[in-house]
Copies of this chain bind each other. A is one copy, B any other.
Amino acid sequence: MTQSQGETKIQPTTDNAVKNFTWLRRGVSEIFPEQVHSDDPLENLEKRLTDTHRPLRVKLGIDPTSPDIHLGHSIPYRKLRAFQDAGHTAVLIIGDFTAKIGDPTGKSEVRRQLSDEIVAQNAKTYLNQLRPILDFDTPGRLEVRYNSEWLSKLDLAKILELLSTMTVGQMLAKEGFAERYAQENPIYLHEFLYPIMQGYDSVAVEADVELGGTDQKFNIAVGRDLQRHFGFPPQFGVLMPILIGTDGTQKMSKSLGNYIGLSDDPLTMYSKLEKIPDHLLEQYFELLTDLPLDVLPENPRDRQKLLALNIVAQFHGQEAAAKAQQTAMSLVQGATTDTSAVPEFSLSQVEFPAKLFYILSASKLCKSSSDARRQIQGGAVRLNSDRVTQLDLAFEKPEQLYEKVLQVGKNKFVRLVP
């Protein structure tokens, strides 16, 4: 399946929006500290933005252990782009240090040790997926840093100093630790160092603002404490909500299967987005588009289409989005008039004669041949919109399948080509 790597950028916010800070506050859960009536640029982010006569440094951390990102991850990057468009510097920090160390207890799957090469490859994959969101081109708007640059140089004396800025009580009050301690689940001492390392990143890059999900408040606050300790003005925290996934109930996550990947092809992305549950529509518009919220279509079905079109256009361009919309409509209606937006799968990879369930597996529409047989049995498989019922359906020659669309469920399609 080929995936187009769109280069279209999201629309920059208007000058007016920059001036009245709608770009800053849209979709934000919390800004801290926030003394709205203060004139002190240490207490009021709007003052810091207007009174600082240099671009602010806006930090966002990247974990290079999980290179595939989805729309949920994209939310703080969209805010970062808004800061870039207002003239500020995005400082992306690739957390290569801990990725290369892993978890010394060997108990965390997420923190397994990765080689330099894999970390670099993951970081590259990650950054590529961000190309449609961030401004990579305007000089001074983007800085990419690897935190091993400063963390690998810390010695015991400095680490004692960093640790001395916090108490055990503060650390144990942190969400996550508190419950584990109460339930007598072991918390290993080195885990206390992770928030401190993230906080020290803010010192090292002299961050003015750190962006993150609402679950990052503690870590961002640790950064503030450490900056104060080292004599820097403490950063502001700008917290964004956690996105609910396509199932409408749980947070978007690859492992739950309720996600829309940034590298999904246009048709897959469109098909998932046009089925977003009604009660999530407003949040999706607010967090994932720049459309004004007061002029959205009344009809929920029209809203879904507008949302899908807008988001697919951000990642793949207007034309691809329009095409995906057409294809999705024709597939749903059982027509096959225009299938050119459907991702291709080359049958040259398959040995003929071939069973259909094998093709379903080889094309990754199903996880395995046995999964494919289950899907056929369940009636989820269609060939050019005709439901397939024969479990052992086989084809003598690839030519019999050329230009046909093979479909599993509502969102997964491939167009079979030579």
Judge if A189 is at the interface, Cβ distance under 8 Å.
Answer: yes
Q: Give the interface of A toward B (CB within 8 A).
A: 97, 101, 103-105, 151-152, 154-157, 159-169, 171-172, 177, 181, 184, 186-190, 192-193, 196-197
- A154's closest neighbor in chain B, by CB? B156
A159 touching B159, Cβ below 8 Å: yes
Docked Cα-Cα span, A172 to B187, in Å, equals 11
Residue numbers in B under 8 Å from A167 (CB-CB): 186-189
Partner of A168, one of B162, B166, B168: B168
A105 touching B164, Cβ below 8 Å: yes
B152 touching A152, Cβ below 8 Å: no
B169 touching A189, Cβ below 8 Å: no
Residue numbers in B under 8 Å from A159 (CB-CB): 156, 159, 190, 193
Sampled A-B contacts (9; CB under 8 Å): A104-B163, A152-B155, A163-B190, A163-B192, A163-B193, A164-B188, A166-B188, A168-B188, A168-B189
B187 touching A189, Cβ below 8 Å: no
Docked Cα-Cα span, A139 to B270, in Å, equals 81
Given the known A-B contacts A181-B168, A181-B169, are A104 and B160 also in contact in the complex, defined by CB atoms under 8 Å?
Answer: yes
- Shortest distance between the CB of A180 and any CB in chain B (Å): 9
A160 touching B192, Cβ below 8 Å: no
B172 touching A188, Cβ below 8 Å: no
A161 touching B192, Cβ below 8 Å: no
Residue numbers in B under 8 Å from A152 (CB-CB): 155-157
B168 touching A192, Cβ below 8 Å: yes
A190 touching B151, Cβ below 8 Å: no
- Shortest distance between the CB of A280 and any CB in chain B (Å): 38
Docked Cα-Cα span, A409 to B177, in Å, equals 58
Residue numbers in B under 8 Å from A172 (CB-CB): 168
B160 touching A151, Cβ below 8 Å: no
Residue numbers in B under 8 Å from A192 (CB-CB): 163, 168, 189, 192
Docked Cα-Cα span, A166 to B168, in Å, equals 14
Residue numbers in B under 8 Å from A162 (CB-CB): 190
Docked Cα-Cα span, A402 to B168, in Å, equals 62
Docked Cα-Cα span, A118 to B101, in Å, equals 37
B189 touching A171, Cβ below 8 Å: yes
- Shortest distance between the CB of A228 and any CB in chain B (Å): 14
- A190's closest neighbor in chain B, by CB? B163
Docked Cα-Cα span, A151 to B159, in Å, equals 12
B154 touching A169, Cβ below 8 Å: no
A187 touching B168, Cβ below 8 Å: yes
Residue numbers in B under 8 Å from A103 (CB-CB): 164
Residue numbers in B under 8 Å from A163 (CB-CB): 104, 188-190, 192-193
Residue numbers in B under 8 Å from A105 (CB-CB): 164
A166 touching B189, Cβ below 8 Å: yes
Residue numbers in B under 8 Å from A196 (CB-CB): 189
Docked Cα-Cα span, A169 to B172, in Å, equals 11
- A105's closest neighbor in chain B, by CB? B164
B169 touching A187, Cβ below 8 Å: yes
Partner of A156, one of B97, B164, B168, B169: B97
